[in-house]
Amino acid sequence: MLAIGEKINVISKKIGKAMAERDEAAIREMAKAQVKAGANILDINIGSTKEGPARMEWLVKVVQDEVDIPCSLDSRNPEAIEAGLKVHKGQAMINSTDGTAEMLDVLMPLAAQYKAKIIGLTMTKGIPRDATERAAIAVDIMGSAMTHGVDLEDLYLDPLVLPIKVAQNQAIEVFEAIKLFRQLNDPPLKTVVGLSNISNEVFGEVKERLDRVFLVSLMALGLDAAIVDPLDTELMNSLKTEQIFRGDILYCDSYLD
Amino acid sequence: MLAIGEKINVISKKIGKAMAERDEAAIREMAKAQVKAGANILDINIGSTKEGPARMEWLVKVVQDEVDIPCSLDSRNPEAIEAGLKVHKGQAMINSTDGTAEMLDVLMPLAAQYKAKIIGLTMTKGIPRDATERAAIAVDIMGSAMTHGVDLEDLYLDPLVLPIKVAQNQAIEVFEAIKLFRQLNDPPLKTVVGLSNISNEVFGEVKERLDRVFLVSLMALGLDAAIVDPLDTELMNSLKTEQIFRGDILYCDSYLD
């Protein structure tokens, strides 16, 4: 199970400012805190900015100078993604392509060239209505990966989590999508979610509970990775507990005492 | 999803004393507290005692005089079970038969006669080693239910949860067993667990986290009922949250605000 830390994100006031001002210290601090809290990969979300490639290059260098784990390069601009891939040490993750030919034909070749993991978001121009529509897009994404020489082990399908507050009936469609995606290949295709989408516009302890209950549910169904807030201690404790149940962590005596 | 409250149990010092002394007030108080906290059924575990039938009869009368929900009659003594069934109002639950002919041939006829729900614990003389052994016993229990005229809708298969502390590898076998049990019939057979077994000999916040993460996992896999401590507020909140995701509770705005 990969916990992808979400905190280096331009939408955060503090981190957005640090990105704009090239404040290394703030970025390093956030990178270190997430790794200490258990993140296995750090997402770097730069937003849409004219200086995208330069910003991504700078961030990857700063983060990987501070911590020894891979980055997930998060941008709608393929040039920014490639700028990050060029300087990244180890296996990067591309976050993300969707199911449109226009994105697939640019990002899958990049994933193949740089041997990167890649997140395939199962949406096209509109929002998928149910698990079946998500699975149909997943098939296209899988086909594109194979065509462009991306190892299916490096593909992470994202069923697109929608806010429970605006689309309650979509939560169970996401459950079903995870099951369907896993059935598309043997060994099962990997899956990932952007967890906090589920609790969009919900706050406080109810938000935190929504996040952790949803994460545990998806892990029980076989989820392989999630973009999460690793600084949410109870979320990470729940993740670790589910890993004990799934057998991902073999010896749990020290945790239980 | 049925939350079966476990607190009226002879092993509790306070409740054990109340049972021995026929202290109605203590039983009534515990019944009321559990229903207020969200229990849908109340388990009545009398232990093994010579006065089993009289004790069960008294308890069912007291509990059902106080609260308007069914009881789960929990005893290894079939005479105590029947004494409870005789005075029970509405549909009772029998907790439980195992997979031995000796228990099945006594308890299934009782379930049929009184139109009771019945828990079928998938063990025989020994502890099942994996999901497959559990499923084999489940098939025997299902067969016995059909033979004796118990509606399969009233059968709840229990995969036998073992303590994570002594048998970590059994947690995933329980996950698999829930999936297998559901595949034995269409519509799927119902499933139930005795939740707190998972955290036996673990204490404090780690115990509570084990319970709630395990419950959410099983619910994501389709669990229909669990014997729980309804006075564990965070456990019940997690249960309710998962019900929102599963679509069991349709309108969640009031909860989310």
**Residue range B74-94: mean pLDDT, rounded:** 97
Of B164, B221, B252, the CB nearest to A252: B164
Question: What pLDDT digit, counting tens, does each position of B88-98 carry?
Answer: 999 999 999 99
- What pTM was computed for the model? 0.95
**Residue range B178-207: mean pLDDT, rounded:** 96
Q: Is the pLDDT score of A28 beyond 70?
A: yes
B 175-204 residues with CB below 8 A of A? 175, 202
Is B238 at the interface with chain A, CB within 8 A? yes
Question: What pLDDT digit, counting tens, does each position of B28-55 carry?
Answer: 999 999 999 999 999 999 988 788 999 9
Question: What pLDDT digit, counting tens, does each position of A116-130 carry?
Answer: 999 999 999 999 999
Q: What are phi and psi of B24, to 5 degrees?
A: -55, -45
Q: What is residue A51's predicted lDDT score, i.e. its pLDDT?
A: 84
Q: Is the pLDDT score of B255 beyond 90?
A: no
Question: What pLDDT digit, counting tens, does each position of B194-241 carry?
Answer: 999 999 999 999 999 999 999 999 999 999 999 999 999 999 999 999
Q: Distance from B178 to chain A by nearest Cα, in Å?
A: 12
Mean pLDDT of chain B: 96
What SS3 class is residue A95?
Answer: strand
Q: Is the pLDDT score of A141 beyond 90?
A: yes
Measured between beta carbons, the chain B residues lying within 8 angstroms of A252 are 164, 168
Question: What pLDDT digit, counting tens, does each position of B111-141 carry?
Answer: 999 999 999 999 999 999 999 999 999 999 9
Residue of A nearest to B211 (CA): A241
Between chain A and chain B, the number of residue pairs with CB atoms below 8 A apart is 90
Is B237 at the interface with chain A, CB within 8 A? yes
E strands, A81-214, in order: 93-97, 117-121, 155-158, 190-194
Q: Distance from A176 to chain B by nearest Cα, in Å?
A: 10
- CATH topology for the B2-246 domain: TIM Barrel (3.20.20)
Q: Distance from B69 to chain A by nearest Cα, in Å?
A: 28
Q: Distance from B187 to chain A by nearest Cα, in Å?
A: 18
| Residue-wise DSSP of chain B | -EEEEEEEETTSHHHHHHHHHT-HHHHHHHHHHHHHTT-SEEEEE--S-TTHHHHHHHHHHHHHHH-SS-EEEE-S-HHHHHHHHHH--S--EEEEE-SSHHHHHHHHHHHHHHT-EEEEES-SSS---SHHHHHHHHHHHHHHHHHTT--GGGEEEE-----TTT-TTHHHHHHHHHHHHHTTSSSPPEEEEEGGGGGTT--HHHHHHHHHHHHHHHHHTT--EEEE-TT-HHHHHHHHHHHHHHTSS---HHHH-
ipTM (interface pTM): 0.93
Is A164 at the interface with chain B, CB within 8 A? yes
**Residue range A5-32: mean pLDDT, rounded:** 97
Residue of B nearest to A171 (CA): B245
Task: Find the helix packing angle between B101-114 and B78-87, rounded to 10°.
Answer: 10
Mean pLDDT of chain A: 96
